[in-house]
Amino acid sequence: MSIEHDACCNLAERLDDVFEEIDSDTCTDLRKNDGEYAEMWHEAIRLKQEFSVIEEVTEGSGALSLSAEEHNALIRYLALSNSMENAERKQIYFRGHMDCYAYLKKIGAI
């Protein structure tokens, strides 16, 4: 195998080991640098604190009954979670492109 291929495989293995850290850093960076994301994050936290049933639905088990207000809060929370996840995925996608470009330059492929 070539040195470039070995280096690429080693990089992939290393990324597997640090992905959770990259994901966490991405969320932290978005909260600090993206006002819209930060607002969604704060609202999601507020909803979870105000409506304990959200945590029961997302992390618990068993049957639940929701009031109309709780149902609306849950729907809003799930929409916020989805929007935040999309922003996180987009950020990781573009970070991957930047890292790939830097790596290809480093190994002399470009």
Q: Which residues of 37-65 are buried (b: 16+ CB within 10 A; e: fewer)?
A: beebbeebeebeeebebbeebeeeeeeee
Residue 2 pLDDT: 52
Residue 7 pLDDT: 54
Cα–chain center distance at 106: 28
pLDDT tens-digit series, residues 56-75: 999 999 999 999 999 999 99
pLDDT tens-digit series, residues 11-56: 667 777 777 777 788 889 999 999 999 999 999 999 999 999 999 9
For residue 102, what pLDDT band results from cuts at 50, 70 and 90?
Answer: confident
